[in-house]
Amino acid sequence: MRFWKMNGAGNDFVVLNNLEEHLPAECLPQAARTLCQRHLSIGADGLMVVDAPTQGGDYKMLFFNSDGSVGEMCGNGARCICRYGYELGLAGETQTVETTAGIVTGRRITQRLYRVRLNDPTTVKLDAPVEVDGIRHPCSYVELGNPGLPHAVVPYPNLRDADESQLRELGRKLRWHPAFPKGANVNFYEILGDDLLYERTFERGVEDFTYACGTGTGSVVAVLTLLGRVTGRNVRVDMKGGTLTIDVEHAGSQVTGLYLTGPTNVVCKGEVTDEDLNLF
């Protein structure tokens, strides 16, 4: 079985081409759990599988978190898969990807730089504070696409110097907070300057911080644009694994276009030989 290992700003993925491999859908969650394990296997935040289109797109992207759960969408994953699709000849420089959350369009800018139009927000609650251990945390809540990928957006002063274990503890509690029926990816941010942010995302399905989160940055910048805290044009978001750029189009309080641009890396291309992988 052939695979690519890719990352988008350090958010890393194993990519399989099911147009060639023909793996049955029911074995994919287990494949994700096995292949994404760090130390024991290839190791990644998620597994992405390219499959045949059913809605007129160039292909379908299935996304699984490292714990085997299905993610509705993944922004960095979509950027990576657009590069994969382009380099494999499945699509051209501009492409249409079918995701669980809806259609995502992508564009090659340079060999390593890809831009996707994220699913439009289907829910935006700008002021939705949540209480954890008796403390009220300011919070916004966003879902992108339908079914929506859930994101909590939480300001965190001096995020760059935050105590790692305290931040992880709060991230985990917010991720499982009953205010979020689907659970949530928890995006902590700090405003560093004009249209410049620092962000850390505690991800549902990875159950830890990842090095970057594309839909997370999109959600944060959409919220801050609607709140008038950033312009929404070319907003730079620094994350541990690299820098992502977000553009927001909106008509009043309605976001009408959300664009994610950032780097990709093809780390290796090879054959999966994991002897613990039991597909059938």
Q: Which residues are annotated as a binding site for substrate?
A: 11, 65, 75-76, 185, 203-204, 214-215
Q: Which is nearer to ligand API, 71 or 85 (CB)?
A: 71
* Lookup: tokens for 25: 């859908």
Give the helix/strand (H/E) hosting 255: strand 254-263
Task: Verify whether residue 74 is a known catalytic residue.
Answer: yes
Quick check: helix, strand or coil at residue 40? Answer: coil
Instruction: Single out the catalytic residue among 80, 82, 139, 213.
Output: 213
**Closest CB to ligand API: residue number:** 71
Of the pair 34, 185, the CB lying nearest ligand API is at: 185
The DSSP H or E segment spanning 80 is helix 75-87
User: Are 15 and 26 contacting, i.e. CB atoms less than 8 angstroms apart?
Assistant: no
For the chain, the helix, strand and coil percentages under 3-state DSSP, each to the nearest 5: 20, 45, 35
* Residue number with CB closer to ligand API (154 or 270): 154
Q: What is the DSSP string of 129-166?
A: -EEETTEEE--EEEEETTTTEEEEEEE-TTGGG--HHH
Q: Is 82 a catalytic residue?
A: no
Nearer to ligand API, 57 or 214 (CB): 214
How far apart, in whole angstroms, are the C-alpha atoms of residue 16 and residue 70? 15
Which of 110-134 are b and which e, b meaning 16 or more Cβ less than 10 Å from the residue's Cβ?
A: eeeebbbbbbbbeebeeebebeeee
- Rounded to the nearest whole angstrom, what is the least distance from the CB of residue 143 to ligand API in the complex? 11
State the nearest-atom distance from the C-beta of 84 to ligand API, in Å. Answer: 15
- Which residue among 27, 36, 74, 80 is the active-site one? 74
- Minimum gap (Å) between residue 35 Cβ and ligand API: 16
- Alpha-carbon distance of 252 to 101, in angstroms, equals 24
Backbone φ, ψ for residue 255 (5° rounding): -80, 125
Closest distance of CB 51 from ligand API, Å? 18
Q: Which of residues 75 and 102 has its CB atom nearest to ligand API in the complex?
A: 75
Shortest CB 273 distance to ligand API, Å: 27
- Binding-site entries: 11, 65, 75-76, 185, 203-204, 214-215
Decide: 210 and 9 in contact? Cβ < 8 Å.
Answer: no
**Residues in touch with ligand API (CB under 6 A):** 11, 65, 71, 74-77, 149, 185, 203-206, 210, 213-216
Q: Which residues are catalytic?
A: 74, 213
